[in-house]
Structures are given as structure tokens and as C-alpha cells.
Amino acid sequence: MELVFATHNKNKLTEIKAMLPHHIKLLSLDDIGCTEDIPETADTIDGNAILKAEYVRRRYGYDCFADDTGLEVEALAGAPGVFSARFAGDEKNDDANVQKLLEHLKGKDNRKARFKTVIALNLTNNENLFTGICQGEILEERRGKKGFGYDPVFKPDGKTQSFAEMNLREKAEISHRGKAFRDLIAYLAQ
């Protein structure tokens, strides 16, 4: 089976390739010649995942899946949420996003947060959604060098390490993306 993962993000691609069964050949947007940034104009994480999957199916004709992920911080009324990648500006700078988040939470006791990933799968013109959520908290400072995005400041509930201190396998076992992708993989295995 050949599937396109509607992403240019090499970090996400590496994480997902490590989880997929070997009989599924995973292609990226770069592999199919899609160089444009797919518009993410929905006001929900679910909506953006659906938009991206439909875009690839319509324009390129491939079976595909797309994900959208947001960090929802309780003390910020769910922000950055759908704007997580662009929290500090359109350039999608991870360091700037983390710095802005830490500044907004300075002095706040409530640091509860959750990551939410939604995957939209378009397979032979049928659409399915898979959702994964990981509850945790925002640390007061960055810890770890692995991962990407908000990983250095997100500590999952029940763990002592940030996502950026975990290896890929450890992170995938408990992460929002890992949960959603396990559901996707189980569906594809049927």
C-alpha cells in the first residue's frame, strides 16, 4: 500500500515512518512534487487536518492522510491551539513559539496543558478521523534536546521527563501523535 503523509515536516515524517508497518510505503509531499504550503484556514484542529487531506486527494490523486496538532494550555483558554505552529509569527519558528509560551505563563500556577492530534485519512474516497490526546503540563524552562516544537517544555502526566528528553519510542508510546497513529494503523490493518 502506498500512502501520502501530507507534510513537509521531516521530524513528523521520521516519527511516523518508525511506527508504520513495512508493507505501507509512506510518501511525503516532497516525494509527490507538492512544494506549496497547504492552506490551514479552518478554525479547528480537526478542520485543518481534513483540509490538508482533501487538498492532496483533489490536486494529486493520492490516497493520503494529514494531521494537525495543537497545544492547548488551560491558563491561556486553550491557546495556542490551532495557531500552535504560528504562535509567535508566520515563520513557524519553534524557539520563538516556546519563548512566547513561557512568557505568557510566567508567574502562573496553572500550567496544565494537552497536546491534541487529529489525523484525517482519505482512502479510496472515504474519510476517517483519528484523535489522540496527551495530558500534561508546561515546564518553567526547556529540558532536553530531542523532539521538536514544544517538546522541551511539555511534560506528560505521570512522567518526569519532557518529550524532548525521551527517545522516539518512549515518546510514541504515550504521545498524542502516537495514540492517533496507532488508531490509524489499526484501521489500515483491517
Strands 80-81 and 126-138: unpaired
From the list 137, 147, 148, the residue with the least C-alpha distance to 102 is 137
Rounded to whole angstroms, the Cα distance separating 2 from 5 reads 10
61: left (phi over 0), alpha (psi -120 to 50) or beta: left
Element (H, E) at 118: strand 112-123
From the list 78, 100, 79, the residue with the least C-alpha distance to 153 is 100
Cα angle: 57, vertex 6, 26; to 5 degrees: 95
From the list 50, 57, 52, 58, the residue with the least C-alpha distance to 3 is 57
Q: Of 30, 31, 68, 109, which one is the catalytic site residue?
A: 68
Judge whether 68 counts as a catalytic residue: yes
Rounded to whole angstroms, the Cα distance separating 151 from 161 reads 10
What residues are labeled active site? 68
